[in-house]
Amino acid sequence: MNYYYTIAGLADIHLSDTKVLSMTDLAAELEGVLSKKDLYLFQLLRMKYDNQHLLALLQGREEEPHPLAVMTEEDWNAWKAAYEEEGKVTEKRKAPKTLLTYFQAFNAKYADNQQELLMEDVLATEYYACAMACKNKFLAAWFEFNLNLNNVLVAITCKKQGWDLKRRVVGNNEVAKNLRTSNARDFDVADLFEQYEDVARIAEMADLLEREKKLDALKWNWLEEHILMCPFSVEKILAFWLQCELLQRWDGLTTEKGRKVFQDMMDDFKKEVKFQ
């Protein structure tokens, strides 16, 4: 399905922009025009916010669902009721209709592996597997690109610091498998992940803020390249949303504040790897 009118009305945005659109307003607008099939694809991108809320609940933190999440407060209340009664959502008790299907797989696998893997890594594995299995080639490729990018960054950091990377690499595609097992300089993934050299160079940057900016530029360029042939399709809308998210990430972030944010991220990562 083509969205000529909607796409013609989208703002012309650039990575250097400092003015950011309201993501909640944009989400409401897109939900009103997308077909049922395409709406699922849009929701698939936003399920990461549901993931954040699920982890918060399982870790005993009370917080409101993210405004961009797919599941409603009513859905979450039903999920919590089922979880508190049985410890997991089982087939015996039907989950809410909008309950994300991979939540069930996560519940089962985490219950069996909580001594081996971090909770967020188990959930990420199920989320990426679900997203990469979708029938939309653009979206499946986007998720695999991000999976590979994040895994390469983790593998390079672990190798540099002498940490065990096997439990920090997420997913089970060929790149993930090679990262866990290869001793080669490029982990034998350079031929599988064409952006490997770019990511490896960025990973060596000492300035964490600048490194994150370069990674976002890499993502932005990937999106631009992959929507050239589909200017009025749902892929263009999904790419626009993703680019707006990249801009939103930097909204109001000063250089000093940004360095602190990313240093905190790196400190948290070190703690997770060191003390498993």
> pLDDT truncated to tens, each residue of the chain (276 aa)?
889 999 999 999 999 888 888 999 999 999 999 999 999 999 999 999 999 998 888 888 888 889 999 998 888 888 778 777 766 544 445 555 556 778 877 877 766 655 566 888 889 989 999 999 999 999 999 999 999 999 999 999 999 888 888 888 999 999 999 999 999 999 999 999 999 999 999 999 988 888 999 999 999 999 999 998 888 999 999 999 999 999 998 876 655 555 555 556 555 555 444 433
Rounded distance, CA 159 to CA 247, Å?
A: 31
Looking at the domain assignment, is residue 1 inside a domain? no
Q: Which two tokens stand for residue 217?
A: 């530029």
- The three state secondary structure string of 197-226 is HHHHHHHCCCCHHHHHHHHHHHHHHHHHHH
Residue 126 and residue 64 share a domain: yes
Residue 142 and residue 130 share a domain: no
Proportion of the chain in helix, strand, coil states, percent, rounded to 5: 65, 0, 35
Looking at the domain assignment, is residue 17 inside a domain? no
Looking at the domain assignment, is residue 10 inside a domain? no
Domain closes at, from 89, 120, 135: 135
Rounded distance, CA 111 to CA 118, Å?
A: 11
What is the DSSP code (8-state) at residue 32?
A: T
Q: What's residue 216's pLDDT?
A: 95
Q: What's residue 257's pLDDT?
A: 54
Q: Which two tokens stand for residue 29?
A: 């607008």
What is the end-to-end Cα distance of the chain in Å, rounded? 48
Residue 271 and residue 147 share a domain: yes
Reported pTM: 0.87
Residue 141 and residue 181 share a domain: yes
Q: What's residue 263's pLDDT?
A: 58
Residue 110 and residue 31 share a domain: yes
Looking at the domain assignment, is residue 147 inside a domain? yes
Residue 266 and residue 168 share a domain: yes
Residue 70 and residue 80 share a domain: yes
Residue 165 and residue 199 share a domain: yes
Residue 123 and residue 101 share a domain: yes
Residue 127 and residue 177 share a domain: no
Cα–Cα distances in angstroms (integers) from residue 187 to residues 161, 197, 270, in the given order: 16, 12, 21
Total tally of structural domains belonging to the chain:
2
Between 36-58 and 23-31, two packed helices, what is the crossing angle to 10 degrees?
Answer: 140
Beta bridge pairs of residue 2 = 233
Residue 47 and residue 159 share a domain: no
187: left (phi over 0), alpha (psi -120 to 50) or beta: left
Q: Which helix (H) or strand (E) holds 146?
A: helix 137-161
Burial call 244-257: b when 16+ CB within 10 Å, e when fewer: bbbbeebeeeeeee
Domain containing residue 143: 137-276
For the chain, give the number of residues. Answer: 276
125 with 147: CB under 8 angstroms? no
Looking at the domain assignment, is residue 16 inside a domain? no
Residue 159 and residue 232 share a domain: yes
Domain closes at, from 135, 154, 170: 135
Q: What's residue 265's pLDDT?
A: 54
Looking at the domain assignment, is residue 15 inside a domain? no
Looking at the domain assignment, is residue 143 inside a domain? yes
Smallest CA-to-CA distance from 222 within 162, 144, 111, 158 is with 144
Looking at the domain assignment, is residue 12 inside a domain? no
Smallest CA-to-CA distance from 148 within 86, 211, 218 is with 218
205 with 213: CB under 8 angstroms? no
Domain closes at, from 135, 158, 173: 135
